[in-house]
Amino acid sequence: MFGNWLFTVVLNCLKYLLTLFYNYNYQGMNVVVKLLQFLALAILPICSSAEVKVYEREYTYKASESDSKLSSRNMAVQEIKLELLNELGTHIYSELSLVNNENGSSSARQELLAVSSGIIKLNIIEDSWNGVEYYLKARLKADSTKVSAEISKLEGLFNKNRLLQKKLDDIKSTPQDASKANETYSSALKYQFGLEEHELDLEKAFRLHKNAANAGHVGAQRNLGHLYEHGKGVRKDLELAIHWYSKAAMAGDQDGQVYLGGHYYLQGNPKAIYWLEMAANNGSWQAQFMLGEAYKEGKIIPVDIKASIKWYEKSADKVIDSQYLLGQIYSMPQLGNIDVSKAIHWYTKAASSGYSSAQLELGYLYWYGSFMNDGSTQVNPDPYRSIMWFDKAATGGEVDAMAMLGSIYMNGNGDIETDYSKALKWLTQAVSFDDERAQLMLGMMYFLGIGIEKNTNIGTSWLVKARDQGDPRVVASVNALIP
């Protein structure tokens, strides 16, 4: 009984602390920290006798066309956990999503959610997937013996944000009417980018953005975050950058959401997904592309190729890289989504826009009849189409394409006649990039006099360079010609 009462008291205290946090000022934060310290000291001696509170709930997630089994499970787990948290009485998620004040608390809200969620333990009792719906039954356990440790974490978090608030108080300028904020923001942009005969003045741009941001201008908040992140016009401060990005993002600014999500993504922080999905769902092609990357790479979220395809496709009209990566996904057996027609479609779309890596892929496909990443036959070889794409790729700087063209024109085949002048042209370009295959072939041309005047000295020089790179096949070929 005492354990249940204690746990209820702690939850109510935590809710009270969250309320204080959302409305704190620098002086008031001292009260919060003292209360946290009191709770930790009061609970520590007696929490060992506390009981574990247990709740159970069922949830069924209805999948959309773009959902996979994995993404459906992730959504179901998220929803059932939130329901159980609400049943427990914390209501943390909704509070964190809706509250936003002017004192800088937004930058730590998701940390508070993580800390509070750490007090509970979620166990999946039963789950099933029928291709349309994902069913979950889960049990939530809240162990009050862990409360004191979590309160210590909160204490550290409040201390951290007390310091952030002091920074904000130090830089806060005289408030101005919101009606003047647009004019101030416009002036800030002119100094930030040197527009309309204004000289570039980043320090002045910073001051103007700061004034407009404190007056609530969302664009100024986003740009102020950018200036802090990159140290332009002000000393670099990532903590303040995140603060201002968060202000803009939580006000619904799409670019602010992208910047905040992108910042977290580069840090390897899973919070990136929340903000990128918010921006992506609002139509940001930058966020859509980054989500495609995130779900494909699996560095901050579990790999989900179907989700990756979904976001790449949404950004494909704006991002050529998305077109190429879709072609790659559909041509790589290890990703389990082989689809030759779709791979050709996306590679061709990217290649037609000048994407040299896609041109190289198509060159290999039509020469060998298979993709670089898959040795099985996929299409009938088409040497002329292959050479067309290899030529475009080589012109775009793809060294592999240069070497392939050198080989094709040096050796020929049933459809393509030898052309030693073209072979010499492409091999000479490729060796300038230290390509060992080109060094081997160019060395053979000179050493054996293939299509050009024989010169064993030049030939030997290129052959030795190729051998020195250490590829066993190249070493064997060179050793067959010279000691």
Question: Residue 15: pLDDT band by 50, 70, 90 thresholds?
Answer: very low
Report the first-to-last Cα separation within the chain, whole angstroms.
89
pLDDT value of residue 413: 81
Question: Rounded to an integer, what distance in angstroms lies between the CA atom of residue 385 and that of residue 108?
Answer: 56
The long-range contacts involving 156-163, CB below 8 angstroms and separated by at least 24 positions, are 157/108, 157/111, 157/112, 157/115, 158/17, 158/21, 158/29, 158/32, 158/33, 158/36, 159/33, 160/108, 161/21, 161/24, 161/29, 161/104, 161/105, 161/107, 161/108, 162/24, 162/26, 162/29, 162/30, 162/33
Domains 178-251 and 399-483 belong to one CATH topology = yes
Q: Has residue 21 got a pLDDT over 90?
A: no
In this predicted structure, the answer to whether residue 458 has a pLDDT above a threshold of 70 is: yes
Q: Has residue 239 got a pLDDT over 70?
A: yes
- Asked if the model's pLDDT at residue 302 lies above 50, the reply is yes
Write down the CATH superfamily of domain 178-251. Tetratricopeptide repeat domain (1.25.40.10)
Which position has the token pair 């040197």? 194
Residue 137 pLDDT > 50:
yes
At 140, phi and psi to the nearest 5? -110, 130
Query: Which pLDDT value is given to residue 378?
Result: 74
pLDDT at 94 over 60: no
Residue 2's pLDDT band, with cuts at 50, 70 and 90, is very low
- Where do the H-state alpha helices sit in 131-281? 147-171, 178-193, 202-214, 218-230, 238-250, 254-267, 271-281
Which of residues 46 and 178 earns the better pLDDT score?
178
Maximum alpha-carbon separation in the chain: 99
Cα angle 37, 144, 109; round to 5:
60
Give the pLDDT confidence of 386-417 residue by residue, as tens digits: 999 999 999 999 999 999 999 999 998 878 89
Taking only the tens place, the pLDDT of each residue in 215-229 is 999 999 999 999 999
**Domain 399-483 annotated CATH 1.20.140.10:** no
Domain boundaries, the chain: 2-171, 178-251, 399-483
The pLDDT value recorded for residue 167 is 57
- Smallest CA-to-CA distance from 136 within 144, 145, 147, 127 is with 127
Instruction: Tell me what pLDDT residue 370 has.
Output: 87
pLDDT of residue 99: 37
Residue among 189, 167, 180, 187 at smallest CA distance from 216: 180
Better pLDDT: 86 or 266: 266
* DSSP for 151-175, written as a single string: HHHHHHHHHHHHHHHHHHHHH----
Which residues lie across from 55 on neighbouring strands? 140
Give per-residue pLDDT as tens, 337-358. 788 899 999 999 999 999 999 9
